[in-house]
Amino acid sequence: MNRLIYIFLSLCALSGYAQPPAPATPFERSGGQQTTTYFECIGFYKKLDQLSPRLSIRTMGMSDAGYPYHLLLYSNDGSADPALWRKQHKVILLINNGIHPGEPDGVDASMLLLRDLVAKKISLPDNVGLAVIPLYNIGGALNRGSFSRVNQNGPVSYGFRGNAQDLDLNRDFTKCDTRNARSFAQIFHWVGPDILIDNHVSDGADYQYTMTLLSSQWNKLGGPLGAFLHDTFRPALFTGMEKKGWPMTPYVNFEEGSPDKGWEAFYDPPRYSSGYATLFNTIAFMPETHMLKKFKDRVLSTYTLMEVMITEASTHANELLQARSQNIKADIAKSTWPLSWSVDSSRWDMIPFKGYETGNKTSEVTGLSRMYYDHDRPFEKQVRLYDHFTPGDCIKSPRAYIIPQGWHEVIDLLTLNRVKMRRLTQDTTITVEAYHIDSYQSYPQAYEKHHKNTEVKVSATTARLSFLKGDYWISALQPSQRFIVEMLEPTGADSYFAWNFFDAILEQKEYYSNYRWEDVAAGWLRQHPEIRDSLESRRKADPSFAQNADAQLEFVYRRSPYYEPAHLRYPVYRVM
């Protein structure tokens, strides 16, 4: 805010002139029936900024829709610098809203929250700094309608899930196909949050709760921070919401029917906001309000959860900051990292659950039997939540990775995420561990603009390879080690290899004409009888191979120096 304006308003107040009242939101003016538009939202915050020196607005980054991002910063001392907040030992909360604009509850709830802070209806603890992205998916918010959320009870009109490229931004946190995601990474690392809140609305089963909560998978978060989340912080949130009249349940991860068998906690790989934040030891939450509840109640419960989150972050600030610091230090020294996680079906937490009994009746659409939830038969029972995960596919972290400079898209994404790198100052021969891509599967249909690689199998060999001046040396001994490993190991679920950034190596660039290779191959086999012996053994063991001239020529070619070494050799090298 312009401090001269604030001083003027203060003098006016002292002189008997009333300070302009804090503005009402479109949500309030519509009686809780309508969500704000993008332009109303930004205009509201600009007005709000004029009323308090504690609130600041800055622009940071651009969206695919051509509009810049606004970041709201609020602290009691009026400082708008997260670096200073960290020195002051404040807990930093980053709230992201409208990643799916058809799920706008957090957009309107944050407007109410910041307006009430400015109007001093509520207060922010001195040891908390608050950063808010008003509306993340700007393109989706501008694509407004009333029919794309068929499962949802209001508001009257709202935005669309896809962004200006028709991409789901909650699948884009590692691949960064959008300007939105690149801007988010810039904001995320500048703010450096201890807690990320990414507000959503659910789909799925029917139940009594208005609010459900998905959090970072605590085993994957690991260390003191994971234990703090599971044992202290998350239970405090549930208790706080209960006291405020909004009982809450963990995110309901089943679609239809009864929870008698319990359900598995949602596993969030790095493509999601919560999985992405976990890689940097930030506790992440996805509040998921229930789509069938009234829009007004969903917004108010989201408001209340953010209040409770702020209160508990303040109460447990020392524990949280200490646990996070311990995790970050431990990560730098850590040598082994899991790349996959699976539910431990032998362990669970017992939780209360308030649902509805199901029944069957004849469908008016099909004439066949259909399931429905009977609101005249509510129940409360203890159910199993399978929220214990075990690690798998463990990788020993190298001392460093080397990436040839030609892979600039990957280098740009690592730089965006503040990975520290240095460039080789001269052409150098280095002993490295090199991966060969032995097998993989690609999605048969496009998924978020990619044909994702899965089921990746690799083999490793040690070799002395030549690298050029300007190639990148990336030490693993840095706070971003977990992010580096999960992005650069090709078997990672959301690695850059999984998202097709290295697909060029899967295509062979040089080939041969059979008639020419016949003569060259014959000379090669005369010089290398061990290859001839292998060929003969294969012919004896495989009759179809013995009758296939093309396959035999390819067999010899793959074992000759004429076969290009770059084919299927993963171009990220490990220095052990």
Q: How far is CA 319 from its chain centroid?
A: 25
| DSSP symbol at 505 | G
Take residue 111 and report the two structure tokens written for it. Answer: 């407007």
Does residue 200 contact residue 103 with C-beta atoms inside 8 Å? yes
Per-residue confidence band for 22, with pLDDT thresholds at 50, 70 and 90: confident
Q: Which residue is it, tokens 């048969």?
A: 444
Q: Is pLDDT larger for residue 301 or for residue 3? A: 301
Given this model, what pLDDT does residue 254 score? 84
pLDDT exceeds 80 at position 26:
yes
Q: What is the pLDDT of residues 457-475, one digit of tens each?
A: 999 999 999 999 999 999 9
Provide φ and ψ at 45, rounded to 5°: -70, -30
* Mean of pLDDT values over 368-391: 96
Given this model, what pLDDT does residue 69 score? 98
Please give the angle made by the CA atoms of 401, 420 and 285, to the nearest 5 degrees.
100
Closest C-alpha among 396, 398, 503, 487 to residue 440: 503
pLDDT exceeds 70 at position 6:
no
Please give the angle made by the CA atoms of 114, 116 and 120, to the nearest 5 degrees.
115
Per-residue confidence band for 16, with pLDDT thresholds at 50, 70 and 90: very low
Percent pLDDT > 90 in the chain is: 93
pLDDT exceeds 60 at position 319:
yes
Q: What is the pLDDT of residues 320-334, one digit of tens each?
A: 999 999 999 999 999
Q: What integer best gives the mean pLDDT of the chain?
A: 95
* Mean of pLDDT values over 448-460: 97
Q: How far is CA 443 from its chain centroid?
A: 20
Given this model, what pLDDT does residue 542 score? 95
Residues 6+ apart with CB under 8 A from 135: 38, 41, 42, 97, 98, 101, 107, 141
What is the value of pTM for the model shown?
A: 0.93
| DSSP symbol at 230 | I
Q: How many other CB atoms sit within 10 Å of the CB of residue 229?
A: 24
Given this model, what pLDDT does residue 20 score? 67
Burial class (CB in 10 A: 0-12, 13-18, 19+), 399: exposed
Per-residue confidence band for 5, with pLDDT thresholds at 50, 70 and 90: very low
pLDDT exceeds 70 at position 177:
yes
Rounded CA separation 12/289 (Å): 42
Take residue 100 and report the two structure tokens written for it. Answer: 């799916």
Q: What is the pLDDT of residues 226-264, one digit of tens each?
A: 999 999 999 999 999 999 999 999 999 987 778 989 999
Angle at which helix 295-315 crosses helix 234-243, to 10 degrees, equals: 130
Q: What is the pLDDT of residues 205-218, one digit of tens each?
A: 999 999 999 999 99
Take residue 19 and report the two structure tokens written for it. Answer: 């300070």
Per-residue confidence band for 17, with pLDDT thresholds at 50, 70 and 90: very low
pLDDT exceeds 80 at position 192:
yes
Does residue 493 contact residue 340 with C-beta atoms inside 8 Å? yes
Given this model, what pLDDT does residue 257 score? 76
Rounded CA separation 454/495 (Å): 10
pLDDT exceeds 90 at position 180:
yes
Torsion angle, CA of 243/248/250/253, rounded to 10 degrees? Answer: 170
Q: How far is CA 500 from its chain centroid?
A: 18
Rg (CA), the chain: 28
Q: What is the pLDDT of residues 53-89, one digit of tens each?
A: 999 999 999 999 999 999 999 999 999 999 999 999 9
The kind and range of the H/E element at 575 are strand 573-575
Given this model, what pLDDT does residue 19 score? 59
Given this model, what pLDDT does residue 318 score? 98
Does residue 453 contact residue 517 with C-beta atoms inside 8 Å? no
Q: What is the pLDDT of residues 135-164, one digit of tens each?
A: 999 999 999 999 999 999 999 999 999 999
CATH number of the 3-254+264-330 domain: 3.40.630.10
The half-sphere exposure of 3 on its side-chain side, counting CA atoms within 13 A, is: 3
Instruction: In the chain, list all ranges with CATH 3.40.630.10.
Output: 3-254+264-330
The kind and range of the H/E element at 96 are strand 91-96
Q: Strand 263-264 relative to strand 369-386: parallel, antiparallel, unpaired?
A: parallel
Q: Which residue is it, tokens 């969500």?
A: 35
Helix, strand, or coil (residue 352): strand
Q: What is the pLDDT of residues 394-421, one digit of tens each?
A: 999 999 999 999 999 999 999 999 999 9
Q: Give me the sign of the Cα torsion angle 391, 396, 400, 406.
A: negative
Angle at which helix 481-488 crosses helix 408-416, to 10 degrees, equals: 150
Q: Is 465 left (phi over 0), alpha (psi -120 to 50) or beta?
A: beta
* Mean of pLDDT values over 473-501: 97
* Mean of pLDDT values over 503-528: 93
Length of the chain: 576
pLDDT exceeds 70 at position 178:
yes
Given this model, what pLDDT does residue 216 score? 96
| DSSP symbol at 169 | G
